[in-house]
Structure 1
Amino acid sequence: MFLPDIKLQNSKILIVDDNLQNVMILKEVIAEFGQVFFSSSGADALDLIPKVNPDLILLDIEMPSMDGWQVCRTLKQQARFADIPIIFITGHNQPSFEQLSLELGAVDFITKPFDAGICKLRVRNQLKLQQQTRQIIQAREQIQHLVKQVPVLITYWNKDWQLKFSNDFSGSWFAVQDPSERQNNKHLKQFFPEALSSAIQHYERIDGNEKQFVVEVNEGKTKFYYQVFQTALTSRNEDKGYLVTIVDISEVKLAKDALYSEKERLRVTLSSIGDAVVATDIEGLITFMNPVAERLTGWRFRDARNLKIENVMPLRDAHSKHELKNPLYIALSEQRIVSMALNSQLISRYGASYLVEDSAAPIRDKNGEMIGAIMVFHDVSETMAMSVKMSHLANHDQLTDLPNRLLLRDRLDVACASATTNNQKACILLIDIDHFKYLNDTLGHQYGDELIIQVSKRLKALLPPAYTLSRLGGDEFVVLMSGIVTVDTASQLARRLLDAMHEPFMLAGNLHNASVSTGISLYPDDAQDAEQLMRHADAAMYRAKQEGRNRFCFFSDELEEALLQRHQLEKTLRHALKHDELVVLYQPKINMHNHQVVGAEALVRLPDGNGSFISPAEFIPLAEESGLIIELGRQVLFKACAYIKLLLDQGLRVPISVNVAAAQFSSAELELHIQEALTVNELPAELLELEITETALMVDVLNTQNKLAQLKALGIAISIDDFGTGYSSLSYLKTFNVDIMKIDMSFVRDMLINHHDFEIVKTIISLGQSMGLKLVAEGVETKEQQKALLELGCETGQGYLFSKPIAVEPFLTFLKS
């Protein structure tokens, strides 16, 4: 059977894209695969395809008049062109676009901008697959022609054993005189010799639809052997007839004994196809080598014939380089299958070396006598190299190639054990890049990764070879100090690492400054095991951040106490969330002209179990760090909406604002939570207000615009909280769809004694008025502040001058008074 070689250079490829620049780029990438045609529209492409009959179509989606999907749909509806593979190449990267493209019958989906190398490989693979499919069809046709020439008698009989079909048109089987009469419902006994027909009818009575057996037929002094394949054909559990296929195996049977030894040798050899195979006689002299063995040993079979196997296939230990005895001799002497020694290395005739493994086995004749042995082996060099590579990947960070958390833990355990044995210390420095999230969100993850790579290289350059630098993930690194470690050496190293970060990093063509915060923990001074050592270094690192960043901090008993308090606080917070024990207080917002209540802010408090409240300044940051902030925000939202409903039922329409944290604002559940809270309490949306900080709004400006549009569509009001303390980017602020601007209390508090704060308040009020926003001043505590704010144009105030945050019932009394 002949299958032509695959030649991709003869392929025809059609590019359909209305952008000529895209066409030229693609054409350059795939030019080596053959002729490249192109069309600038879907209609032109449909006219060109019957003329070109391409092997592959690269199709854009967005095109005038007829898009790529329409072109694809049209082609798939025509049988002539339905099998042409189509690859969509488009600037759209949404999963829905890719899903629709594949549903329409496309074989691949490439997004722009694309990697030329990957695009080229995908095109190549599809062209290769297309040509292979054609070869399979050609091979199937060749097989059909071959079957017609196979000397096999095929017959079909009804359930009464009357002949319905036979392929013996020439009458060469069983000396039939009139072949035309073979179709005339002849009975089985009239058609076959008695021995053959009796055997067929005998096997009919044996259970099973398919039978295979050999029948011996004597015709005079000559014996014939026929192999019979008999199948009962049924339909709907009713007998329909029998398919009987007969092969004359007389010559095979007669030659079987003479060919047994050679057949056994051939069977063993063929079963080892794909591996190197070397056969010898009982003296170890080579009698056969396959091409793989020739390649690995460097010997041609004609040159190696009758040479000792150890001369052609010298083996040695890969580690010690000592010569190894060829296992074929062991197989000959002990007459058993022998596996090759581990770490066996084959040295070829020309000095190349291969790691090899497999086995040797004796060869026997039909009487069981040993006539030689066969050696089957294969090259495992790539497998071993891949194993080493996989081990490396499993233990190293893919971005920086530094040891990862898994390998660090192993080395940390060893370092702690060694420190205990030698009465020494082990030390780790946990390093975190300051403000990395802001830089990552501002420049993009690509440059965030580049910063991590540059930081890792700079850190590694400062460390002795005996130290381990690893990346835990994100922007966290760990330095493991081993050997003779003191507090001074750890302090000196931490200082060098901090100073090294002061040199700017080049990112996106610009210089960027970065600093790190470092926590240091020593074993056994600060911890009893590796896990505690890591935990304490983490606590020290957070202390360094709290103290202003760009510094290092050692773990201490004070930090241990703070760590325990933090753990207890998190436990208290989780318990309160689980049992709905959060308390919401309400601070009124006052019209400072007439002292009427115009709204209130919902402020959450955490009971400490002793009748007091834990300050939000303590548990809110913890909720954000531990991922509890979304559930906390949800509970406050529902409590506030329930209180708005209570006020409504008593005839009081009081808008209440709820604070939304950055993580809560960016979550997908916020809109659903708001809708649910409004629906459950049957509230008008205008009575609910969301207070969002500038920082949360500026994390992702485009996403913020979309998010605000969705929230505003619900009918609720949006307030910018603590304005002036965040980014205060007017170019973005004017694009945000908000209703209210709150002036931070830090400016209001000192506005009458600090000229700069007064000017800031004045500017914010002016800005808010120019943008048509409502203004609310926070932290109003004196009548003088109230008067000054009114004179500047701010009518609404919130602060202790009017009321502190109060509970549900006192607030209701406050409203009625």
Structure 2
Amino acid sequence: MDRASHLKDRRANRRFPAMAATIDRLGTDIPTVPADTPVGTVDGMFRMDPALRAVAVQDGPRQLVLLTRRLVETHLSGRLGYGRALNARRTAGQLLPEYRVVCRPGMSLDEAAKIALGRPEEVRYDDLLMLASDGPKVVSVSEIFEALAHSFRHAAWHDDLTGLPNRRWLDEEGPAVLARSNPDRTALLYIDLDHFKAVNDTHGHDAGNAVLVEFGRRLRECLRIEDAAVRLGGDEFVALLADIDEADAEKVAERVLEAAQEPMVHGEHALALSATIGLAMARDIAWDEELGPLDVLLRHADGAMLTGKQLGKQRVQRLDGQAGNPFARLAQIRRRFLGALEDGTLTVRYEPILDLASHRCTSVQAVLHWDDPELGSVEPHEFLPVAERSGQLAPIALRILDEVCAQAAAWRRDGHAWRVGLRTVPTWLAGGQLAADVKAALAAHELDGEGLRIDVGGRFALSDMAHAKAQLAELRDAGVDVGLDGYGSEHGTIAVLRALPFTMLKVTSDLVAHIDSSHADAAIFSGIVNTGHALGLRVMASGATRAPQLRLLRELGCDAVRGELIGGPMSAEELVRRFGSDPSEPGQARQVCLAGEAASNVS
């Protein structure tokens, strides 16, 4: 695609983003003639106006029928060339087709295409008649399919929410843009909204969506027609600037920065945000043989943005070079994670949970695991925030929920009645789909609620409490356990415990790490256990690594424990081998408890 065609396509996308909605724009005005009009007169109209494709024939007081140029020419040519003589005395009404279709304004392209394809093959691609308020119009079937193809292409390449080109467009068209651009005059802005998560958590998703739409509009206004504004996902955007020097690129970035700082009105609220922007010039980066120019440029700008975040946000940041950049790994994670779902490197592992009363592994925790060919093993705390910010968390969560339910059902069929814990986030609750999604997955795999526990962690918005309570209550009614994950962090509070109907309290590993060496930490943990039990909750400790910790957890009344001492995340097959023994056998869980008791005797 040359530069002129590229700009023409971008202008068309801006002017007609909803061109695909209806057939209205495709109609061309045509004259109306009485049914008794001689065929010769109609033929003369077509000869006088080569652009005229059809006329509307008044066949009765209320009916208009389309008579196309093709149909008239077919009749007049006839067999052996005698058609004109044979039809000289006929009228327009006598040439009308038997198969008659009338379209109305507002009809979608999809509906019009179905009507066309539903006609007999010999007339399938003939024009259609549209009766508009300002008179009859002819609609070309070929234009319908062309517009429909444009609609599909637009939908595939554009973000549903903001209307901006999406990551797919950038991946497919970005390399061509760079190939025809002068590296000395090509820049990329990597834009991340500051405090967007706080807006989502405090005011809800509708406010968050409104912010994204408004910022997308402002971003377009800050750019030239030849520049590309792209929404990568979540609150991350990219601006690809061609034929621009460094000074002007910095001016564009400053304009974007100022636009983000203007309050965004949603209902009665004026939402204050800002942005951090990473700026990279194509001339400043060294191309990588394994990565394309676009990937390297994105990584460089992403690293600059992350550096800007670290330095205080609300700024335009440059990187002089990638060497020694502390954010190089995170920037690479953000780029590599996009393909993790498709290439099968993102998998589920299971961590055993020891029940301290029965000395057995009665439940497990599902843990996401990512082995990337370039990055190696990537921990969940590294890639889950990336998934959440890029908008990938929801599809990942649904896929993992389905996989976990399938595995739990398979285990139960094999005699292993493990309840599987799956961590989610408050935004799934806020979206209103958590309970419905969970119950649908349970039903799909014929698994009862006792096979699953949903753990919720992170920040709860006070405005979402009633909604979250209803969702969790629905899960409990279905037999599903619901746990508060990460209690002891800044997000886990007594107010949340009192407001929401949890069944389990999962204490963060930070409060478990030193309970066997710090009286203060042991006292704090003891208070948490007493609080949980007073509220009717089971208490589980995370991060147990030493036998003395296990002994003390039992003494303090903790109900369950997970951590390296019990066993790290492992495959489903390995979990069965190590913890699926007959109840009459000691098993690994029993051996761990015995080790804890031995430590107790030694001390």
Provide the secondary structure at the position in 1 that maps to 2:468. helix
From 306, 310, 315, give the equivalent of 1:543. 306
Conservation of the 8 A alpha-carbon contact between 1:519 and 1:554? yes
Summarize deviations over 1:539-589 as a string: whole Å, max 9, x none: 23552377475265424446788756644443243121xxxx754332222
The structure number with the bigger radius of gyration is 1
Distance 1:809 1:498, change over 3 A: same
Provide the secondary structure at the position in 2 that maps to 1:793. coil
Provide the secondary structure at the position in 1 that maps to 2:512. helix
- Structure 1 residues 571-590: aligned runs within 5 Å: 571-576=339-344, 583-590=347-354
Q: CA offset at residue 739 of structure 1?
A: 0.6
Provide the secondary structure at the position in 2 that maps to 1:775. strand
Distance 1:689 1:485, change over 3 A: same
Provide the secondary structure at the position in 2 that maps to 1:781. coil
Distance 1:673 1:726, change over 3 A: same
Conservation of the 8 A alpha-carbon contact between 2:435 and 2:472? no
Conservation of the 8 A alpha-carbon contact between 1:520 and 1:554? yes
- Structure 1 residues 42-81: aligned runs within 5 Å: none
Provide the secondary structure at the position in 2 that maps to 1:539. helix
Conservation of the 8 A alpha-carbon contact between 2:330 and 2:382? no
Provide the secondary structure at the position in 2 that maps to 1:741. strand
Does 2:198 align with 1:435?
no
> When you count strand as a share of all residues, which structure comes out higher?
1
Q: Distance in 2 between matches of 1:785 and 1:653?
A: 27
The aligned length equals 407
- Structure 1 residues 212-611: aligned runs within 5 Å: 430-443=190-203, 516-526=275-285, 535=298, 539-540=302-303, 542-544=305-307, 547=310, 550=313, 552-555=316-319, 556-557=321-322, 566-576=334-344, 583-593=347-357, 595-608=359-372
Conservation of the 8 A alpha-carbon contact between 1:521 and 1:540? no
From 508, 531, 548, give the equivalent of 1:784. 548
Distance 1:503 1:484, change over 3 A: closer
Summarize deviations over 1:236-279 as a string: whole Å, max 9, x none: xxxxxxxxxxxxxxxxxxxxxxxxxxxxxxxxxxxxxxxxxxxx
Equivalent in the alignment of 2:485: 721
Q: What letter corresponds to residue 366 of structure 2 in structure 1? A: A
Q: What letter corresponds to residue 442 of structure 1 in structure 2? A: T
From 438, 454, 458, give the equivalent of 1:694. 458
Provide the secondary structure at the position in 2 that maps to 1:524. helix
Conservation of the 8 A alpha-carbon contact between 2:350 and 2:570? yes
Distance 1:624 1:507, change over 3 A: closer
Distance 1:681 1:726, change over 3 A: same
Distance 1:757 1:494, change over 3 A: farther
Does 2:383 align with 1:615?
no
Provide the secondary structure at the position in 2 that maps to 1:734. helix
Conservation of the 8 A alpha-carbon contact between 2:189 and 2:277? yes
Provide the secondary structure at the position in 1 that maps to 2:489. coil
Equivalent in the alignment of 1:796: 560
- Structure 1 residues 169-188: aligned runs within 5 Å: none
Q: Distance in 1 between matches of 2:237 and 2:395?
A: 31
Q: Distance in 2 between matches of 1:649 and 1:533?
A: 49
Q: CA offset at residue 673 of structure 1?
A: 4.5
Q: Distance in 1 between matches of 2:256 and 2:241?
A: 13
Q: What letter corresponds to residue 544 of structure 1 in structure 2? A: T
Distance 1:696 1:605, change over 3 A: farther
Distance 1:532 1:573, change over 3 A: closer
Conservation of the 8 A alpha-carbon contact between 1:573 and 1:606? no
Conservation of the 8 A alpha-carbon contact between 1:654 and 1:687? yes
Provide the secondary structure at the position in 2 that maps to 1:637. helix
Equivalent in the alignment of 2:66: none
Q: Distance in 1 between matches of 2:360 and 2:552?
A: 19
Coordinate RMSD, CA, aligned: 5.7
Q: CA offset at residue 773 of structure 1?
A: 0.8
Q: CA offset at residue 447 of structure 1?
A: 7.8
Distance 1:699 1:725, change over 3 A: farther
Provide the secondary structure at the position in 1 that maps to 2:284. coil
Conservation of the 8 A alpha-carbon contact between 1:598 and 1:654? yes
Distance 1:715 1:561, change over 3 A: closer
Provide the secondary structure at the position in 2 that maps to 1:721. strand
Q: What letter corresponds to residue 284 of structure 2 in structure 1? A: D
Does 2:400 align with 1:636?
yes
Provide the secondary structure at the position in 2 that maps to 1:788. helix
Report sequence identity in percent: 23
From 497, 504, 513, give the equivalent of 1:733. 497
Distance 1:611 1:583, change over 3 A: farther
From 730, 734, 749, give the equivalent of 2:513. 749
Summarize deviations over 1:513-555 as a string: whole Å, max 9, x none: 8554221112433499997898457523552377475265424
Q: What letter corresponds to residue 524 of structure 1 in structure 2? A: R
From 476, 479, 490, give the equivalent of 1:712. 476
Summarize deviations over 1:356-402 as a string: whole Å, max 9, x none: xxxxxxxxxxxxxxxxxxxxxxxxxxxxxxxxxxxxxxxxxxxxxxx
Q: What letter corresponds to residue 783 of structure 1 in structure 2? A: A
Q: Distance in 1 between matches of 2:515 and 2:564?
A: 16
- Structure 1 residues 87-102: aligned runs within 5 Å: none
Q: CA offset at residue 479 of structure 1?
A: 9.1
Summarize deviations over 1:272-294 as a string: whole Å, max 9, x none: xxxxxxxxxxxxxxxxxxxxxxx
Q: Distance in 1 between matches of 2:445 and 2:242?
A: 62
Equivalent in the alignment of 2:132: none
Conservation of the 8 A alpha-carbon contact between 2:282 and 2:297? no
Q: Distance in 1 between matches of 2:405 and 2:213?
A: 48
Distance 1:492 1:515, change over 3 A: same
Q: Distance in 2 between matches of 1:737 and 1:705?
A: 7
Q: What letter corresponds to residue 495 of structure 2 in structure 1? A: S
Q: Distance in 1 between matches of 2:546 and 2:511?
A: 14
Q: What letter corresponds to residue 521 of structure 1 in structure 2? A: A
Q: CA offset at residue 723 of structure 1?
A: 1.6
Summarize deviations over 1:413-460 as a string: whole Å, max 9, x none: xx999995xx9756565443312232244146898799999999x99x
Moved more, 741-750 or 529-538: 529-538
- Structure 1 residues 638-657: aligned runs within 5 Å: 638-657=402-421
Q: CA offset at residue 755 of structure 1?
A: 6.7
5+ residue gaps, structure 2: 1-33, 39-59, 62-163, 582-586, 588-603
Q: Distance in 2 between matches of 1:678 and 1:445?
A: 27
Q: Distance in 2 between matches of 1:513 and 1:611?
A: 37
Conservation of the 8 A alpha-carbon contact between 2:333 and 2:383? no
Summarize deviations over 1:98-120 as a string: whole Å, max 9, x none: xxxxxxxxxxxxxxxxxxxxxxx
Provide the secondary structure at the position in 1 that maps to 2:361. strand
Q: Distance in 2 between matches of 1:631 and 1:482?
A: 34
Summarize deviations over 1:157-193 as a string: whole Å, max 9, x none: xxxxxxxxxxxxxxxxxxxxxxxxxxxxxxxxxxxxx
Q: CA offset at residue 678 of structure 1?
A: 3.0
Q: What letter corresponds to residue 543 of structure 1 in structure 2? A: L
Q: Distance in 2 between matches of 1:814 and 1:661?
A: 30
Q: CA offset at residue 743 of structure 1?
A: 0.3
